[in-house]
Structure 1
Amino acid sequence: MFFETYKSELIATGILLLFLLIVRFISTTLITKISRKNGINLARIHLINRYVSVTLVLIGLLIIPFIFGTQPRELALVFSSVFAVIGIGLFAIWSILSNITSGIIMFISFPYKVGDKIQIHDKDFPLEGIIEDIRAFQLHLRLENGDLVTYPNNLMLQRAVTLIEKDAIDDDAIDGI
């Protein structure tokens, strides 16, 4: 009975999902080709592709209720309630929000990349190592003794950093990590 009642909506949802999958495939392929041509690091290419995928999922989640006949006013009420709860929750855990914001800033304008050897001038805990990964919340730094240090993005933007050696490891070594 459900499938008979919502047959056209289910078909439209299937078409939307297929369209979004095709857009994701085309965009990730183009991003990867253009990025490699411009010498962008593999870790950043993967991060860009993740952001594209999340954006397409959010677009799909926004369009599907309209396919099933939801009125914009009803959807606005749901979203405002959800955003209010999320806002209160994020205020309570501001350091996570700070790290996400720092991760976005680092993604857009971070002068260092995976493979660079850097020194972080932290008064209490100075570090020197090779950047292994830059994620949404933290940066992974491999020290000379082999230890892996996870350093929060918000602290990374608050500390002075010195570039010691550019591309201390190559992309092939990063793929194996």
Structure 2
Amino acid sequence: MTFFNDFTKELIESGILLFLVIVLRIIIAKGVRSFANTTHIIEHRTNLVIKYIHLFITILALIILIIIWGFEAQDIVIALTSVATVAGVAMFAQWSILSNITSGIILFFSFPFKIGDVIRIHDKDFPIEAEIEDIGAFHIALKTNDGEMIIYPNNLLFQKGISILKTHYDNKEFVD
């Protein structure tokens, strides 16, 4: 019972933080879904962005929780510096993954094209004209007129010029 008596303040603050994290996650998820509905963004991309935002909120809440429970600032700085150093070395080795994730988030919010659009990627060495089949967190799936599937990294979409040619309708006849 002495634990509850000794740490009442920390337990109350932790409970309030947990409540705020849950409420913030719900509000942000509803906001992103509302944005996605008004801009007609597909559900898969919406869920990815919500997952990234929830991860950020969780990390921030853990840092606040560490501060609430009274760890020394110097110990926190040393631990965060060590983690940042290891993560920095790992991310430097995997910069393209981080770049593709960031590009995927930018594509979600700027939304220059959608699934079904036919695009031309202006690459001097390897020009591509294809229909967008899927847009993921790391890459975009394209299908050429020949039926060839091309997986194109998101970060390269920002390095090359892109033209949106038309929306694909499979040349079907429409009857009233």
Measured in 2, the distance between the counterparts of 1:113 and 1:25 equals: 27
- CA 1:7–1:129 in structure 2 vs 1: closer, same or farther (change >3 Å)? farther
The structural deviation recorded for 1:11 is: 5.3
- For the 8 Å contact 1:41–1:114, the answer to whether it is kept is no
Kindly provide the amino acid, as one letter, of the partner of residue 60 in structure 1.
A
Aligned length: 167
**Please, what TM-score do these two structures have when normalized by structure 1?**
0.72
Per the alignment, residue 30 of structure 1 pairs with 31
Per the alignment, residue 63 of structure 1 pairs with 64
Secondary structure in structure 1 of the residue aligned to 2:83: helix
Measured in 1, the distance between the counterparts of 2:65 and 2:2 equals: 17
Kindly provide the amino acid, as one letter, of the partner of residue 58 in structure 2.
V
Kindly provide the amino acid, as one letter, of the partner of residue 156 in structure 1.
L
Instruction: Please report the RMSD computed on the Cα atoms of aligned residues, expressed in angstroms.
Output: 3.2
Q: Structure 1: any 5+ residue segments left out of the alignment?
A: 170-177
**What are the within-5 Å matches in structure 2 for residues 1-177 of structure 1?**
8=8, 9-10=10-11, 12-37=13-38, 39-43=39-43, 44-109=45-110, 111-144=112-145, 148-166=149-167, 168=168
The structural deviation recorded for 1:26 is: 1.9
For the pair shown, which has the larger CA radius of gyration, 1 or 2?
2
Per the alignment, residue 175 of structure 1 pairs with none
- For the 8 Å contact 1:129–1:142, the answer to whether it is kept is yes
- CA 1:121–1:135 in structure 2 vs 1: closer, same or farther (change >3 Å)? same
- Please list the CA deviations of residues 113-136 of structure 1 after superposition, one character each: whole Å capped at 9, or x if unmatched: 333221224455443333243333
- Please list the CA deviations of residues 36-60 of structure 1 after superposition, one character each: whole Å capped at 9, or x if unmatched: 23x2412553343233212211221
